[in-house]
Chain A
């Protein structure tokens, strides 16, 4: 194990040179990009830019090789033995939509049920709602305990003979809760129910080995793990990958096209219609190199230490309610909280004055916020470059704001 020095890591991220006093605590929304990733993007454009797959010239072959190498790197990074099971998408949302359309729409019938949890991001709710409306399916939601963990008693109650899929987040983008994915997958597989994992808040923050988890579908976004926006990843297991219908259609995903009929390629091309974000995929590959260099175990330990430190500090803020598990080891570096009498939006505006970037609102988790009986919360989220001094800056800002707001008027 190697301890991560956040101050040294910050130097890898040019944004902190441009904005020297920036306290960036909105990593669950998107992470900043290391020089290595930015260089991979520009290097690709400078040296290997061409469309991939069908160009009979060296540059196109180089671009194809770089794109496929990125796929291989991603597979290696998240414990997938065969790179052909990695499908590049636009983001985690598109990856989940792909499964909703190509798997659920094709295989589920009226009255079938999809089991979700109340802690899901809208991206793991809305696609299922739309398919449910179209196909006459029923959605059921597993609740959470008072500590923000999945309610296993409720989960067992919500499974029926019509349950056809369990779709759950690996780590909540509000509560930080890390769900026991390996156990859950084994539990549902015993009952013949496939499992989809929304890994947007997990990959890049903790070691994730999809092969070991054993799930059927795993979705995540590049931009939340130091890669550019516009690239996401979907893993599909051997059992389903070549029996699923295409999602989007057009060029690159076909074997042959006549005026009346089209035959499709196998995965991953089958699910990657049109020119993909080649340079973003290449840069995602570079992001996995960067994370490997730091070490995922080291990153997890760093973020757990920060979370424990922040939870301890926040406990001293008067009128605060922190949502989610009490122990840092049971959560990622995401902490959402509410203050008694200062609305999250107002708080975000106030700390912005002190160069602190955090997030306020429902974080695309309105059902969860309703469950928590608040309309919105304030969220801080950590990353490899987050230092204890960033948390101290937030703590001082919160203390000052609360003190000034509650101070009596000067006479």
Chain B
């Protein structure tokens, strides 16, 4: 990944409006990347089966933060059942930049965490 492309990702990771926690989340997913120990948590607010809000907190790389940010953004306004139908290709498409095989786990952490979200 060249620095110019990365800079967009890096800045997005720092300025994401979806960074943070929800006070009373309906669902919460937590996960860890076993390769590096990075952690991610996603909170979802759900009303009448619709995801109305979502926030994430993470300790990790910019790629995993941006993946979480883009995924969360795409999920707000969708039915909560969408969470179980998420697939890797859709998330990789959202990333809009080629991801090397070694970095796939960074991106896919968001998917794993969103899918694992359970009632709080």
Contact = CB atoms under 8 A, between A and B. Distances in A.
A369 B61 CA distance: 16
A341 B10 CA distance: 9
Interface hub of A344, A360, A376, A404 (most chain B Cβ within 10 A): A376
Nearest to A353: B2
Contacts of B2: 350, 353
A400 B3 CA distance: 9
Contacts of B47: none
Interface residues of A, number: 21
Interface in B13-39: 14, 35-39
A361 B102 CA distance: 12
The contact size tier of chain B is 20 to 34
A376 B1 contact: no
Given A349-B1, A353-B2, A362 B60 contact: no
Interface hub of A341, A349, A352 (most chain B Cβ within 10 A): A349
A350 B36 CA distance: 17
Interface in A193-226: none
A169 to B, nearest CB: 20
A29 to B, nearest CB: 13
Given A350-B1, A360-B36, A345 B7 contact: no
A352 B61 CA distance: 16
A346 B61 contact: yes
Contacts of A249: none
Contact of B37 (A341, A375, A405): A375
Given A349-B100, A349-B103, A405-B10, A344 B1 contact: no
B59 interface: yes
B1 A361 contact: no
A254 interface: no
Interface string A87-112: 00000000000000000000000000
Given A345-B106, A376-B36, A350 B60 contact: no
A376 B63 CA distance: 15
Given A361-B36, A376-B36, A376-B37, A343 B60 contact: yes
Interface in A317-367: 341-346, 349-350, 352-353, 360-362, 366
A393 interface: no
Contacts of A341: 14
A362 B106 contact: no
Contacts of B60: 343, 345, 375
A326 B70 CA distance: 42
5 smallest CB-CB distances across A and B, nearest first, come from A343-B61, A345-B61, A375-B37, A361-B36, A404-B3
Interface of B: 1-4, 6-7, 10, 14, 35-39, 59-63, 100, 102-103, 106
Interface of A: 341-346, 349-350, 352-353, 360-362, 366, 369, 375-376, 400-401, 404-405
Given A343-B61, A345-B106, A376-B37, 11 more contacts: A346-B61, A346-B62, A349-B100, A350-B1, A352-B100, A353-B2, A360-B36, A361-B35, A361-B36, A375-B39, A376-B36
